[in-house]
């Protein structure tokens, strides 16, 4: 599913690095799963988590067989946006992410014309994309918790894709210092192999194992800038 900061386009590059030394039965865990765009391509024991309840209810519903609508008009979009309690949370999640500009939760009704002059149906595109993920979602344990409360089996492979420092967060204010301290404690205390996507990481604890220059949209006017996307592994000096 289209989601702000999705790593879907890099999956073929970073998953082989993350899973290179995975052992039989070893858990793969994503505390910030977002649009499930990596974990749906991983097999075996998997745990997904995100703090956004609407996002999690959406993927639980898809996992259980729910079919999203083919279209949502702007009036309905705005009614759902401002009256969330009147709608099933999985529908709120689908509309909030799938029908919004850039996959940002209720950032504005997605509209636009294709090069052929026909109006794009973003809702239908999102419906198709998320239904294509369904097979890959089977048997994932899905949680809706603060990442610090997630129970992670010992010796897991953990991949974190948190809100990046210095950029727009997905929801509430995110404390990066608390996050890095949590990661370090987790890696040192549970025998885990820990990977983090970020632009920068504490050099004394993390090694960059992959990087790529990317163009990042920074607002609804499609202004963009170049950044170096990086994948770090916990590997203290």
Q: What pLDDT is stored for residue 170 in this prediction? A: 45
Q: What pLDDT is stored for residue 171 in this prediction? A: 46
What CA–CA distance (Å, rounded) separates 164 from 30?
A: 16
| Phi-psi domain of 123 (left: phi exceeds 0; alpha: psi -120 through 50; beta: other) | alpha
Q: What pLDDT is stored for residue 7 in this prediction? A: 84
Of the pLDDT bands very low, low, confident and very high (cuts 50, 70, 90), residue 78 is: very high
Helix (H) or strand (E) holding 30: strand 28-30
Asked if residue 50 lies in contact with residue 34, where contact means CB atoms within 8 angstroms, the answer is yes
Phi, psi of 217 (to 5 degrees): -75, 135
| For range 211-216, the mean pLDDT | 82
- How many Å is the Cα radius of gyration of the chain? 18
pLDDT higher than 80, residue 3:
no
Beta strand spans in 3-97 (E): 28-30, 46-49
pLDDT tens digit sequence for 86-140? 999 999 999 999 999 888 999 999 986 555 556 789 999 999 999 999 999 999 9
CA dist 63 to 37, 55, 90, 145, Å?
A: 14, 12, 11, 18
Domain extent listing, the chain = 8-234
What CA–CA distance (Å, rounded) separates 80 from 212?
A: 37
Number of alpha carbons in the 13 Å side-chain half-sphere of residue 211: 12
* pTM across the whole model: 0.91
| For range 143-161, the mean pLDDT | 96
**Could you give the 3-state DSSP secondary structure of residue 198?**
strand
Phi, psi of 194 (to 5 degrees): -120, 130
Domain 8-234, second-level architecture: 3-Layer(aba) Sandwich (3.40)
What CA–CA distance (Å, rounded) separates 134 from 226?
A: 33
What CA–CA distance (Å, rounded) separates 170 from 178?
A: 17
- Kindly give the interhelix angle for 89-98 and 53-63, rounded to the nearest 10 degrees: 100
Q: What pLDDT is stored for residue 168 in this prediction? A: 54
Q: What pLDDT is stored for residue 217 in this prediction? A: 60
pLDDT tens digit sequence for 167-200? 554 445 789 999 999 999 999 988 899 999 999 9
pLDDT tens digit sequence for 18-77? 999 999 999 999 999 999 999 999 999 999 999 999 999 999 999 999 999 999 999 999
């Amino acid at each position: 599913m289209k989601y702000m900061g999705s790593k879907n386009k890099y999956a073929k590059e970073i998953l082989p690095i993350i899973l290179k030394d995975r052992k039989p039965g070893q858990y793969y865990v994503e505390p910030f799963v977002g649009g499930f765009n990596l974990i749906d391509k991983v097999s075996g024991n998997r745990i997904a988590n995100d703090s956004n309840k609407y996002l999690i209810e959406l993927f639980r519903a898809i996992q259980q067989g729910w079919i999203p609508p083919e279209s949502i008009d702007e009036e309905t979009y705005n009614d759902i946006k401002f009256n969330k309690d009147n709608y099933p949370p999985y529908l709120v999640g689908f509309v909030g992410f799938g029908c919004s500009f850039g996959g940002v939760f209720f950032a504005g009704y997605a509209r636009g014309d294709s090069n052929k002059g026909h109006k794009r149906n973003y809702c239908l595109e999102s419906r198709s994309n998320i239904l294509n993920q369904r097979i890959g979602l089977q048997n994932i344990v899905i949680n809706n918790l603060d990442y610090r409360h997630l129970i992670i089996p010992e010796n897991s492979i953990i991949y974190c894709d948190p809100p990046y420092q210095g950029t727009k967060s997905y929801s509430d204010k995110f404390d990066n210092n608390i996050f890095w301290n949590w990661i370090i404690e987790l890696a040192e205390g549970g025998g885990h192999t820990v990977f983090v996507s970020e632009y920068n990481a504490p050099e004394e604890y993390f090694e960059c194992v992959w990087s790529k220059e990317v163009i990042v949209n920074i607002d609804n006017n499609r202004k963009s800038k170049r950044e170096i996307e990086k994948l770090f592994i916990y590997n203290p000096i």
